[in-house]
Amino acid sequence: MAEKKNKGQKTFFRFMALIGVVTVGTIVYGFLTAAPALRPIPAHLGPLSTSTCLKCHVESPSGAPIMPHRPMTDCTFCHKGPELPTPQTGY
């Protein structure tokens, strides 16, 4: 263990640690808020399973934007909705 000899050095390392924590926090927050929330259209209300989401957003996207990423297990983990009671998994 390197010994921190003076106060200035301790302050420097605390400052660097703070920058690290803020950076990681910003990245995690950005990741979790990047997904657009579900709009309160009738199609989005009620309990929806992942396979139901995919029916509109991959198979027959008439007006619905095509999912721009690989299908993931739990859509509502990232896409928060106005009224989506229990997110169901499996498709």
- What is the binding site for ligand HEC (CB under 6 A)? 34-36, 38-39, 41, 43-44, 48, 50, 52-54, 56-57, 63-65, 67-69, 71-72, 74-79
What number of residues does the chain have? 91
Q: Which is nearer to ligand HEC, 20 or 61 (CB)?
A: 61
Q: Which residues contact 86 (CB under 8 A, 6 or more apart)?
A: 47
Cα–Cα distance between 44 and 31 in angstroms, integer?
23
DSSP letter at 88 equals B
Q: Which residues contact 47 (CB under 8 A, 6 or more apart)?
A: 84, 85, 86, 88
Q: Which is nearer to ligand HEC, 13 or 77 (CB)?
A: 77
Nearest distance in Å: CB 42, ligand HEC: 8
Q: Which is nearer to ligand HEC, 8 or 65 (CB)?
A: 65
Nearest distance in Å: CB 80, ligand HEC: 9
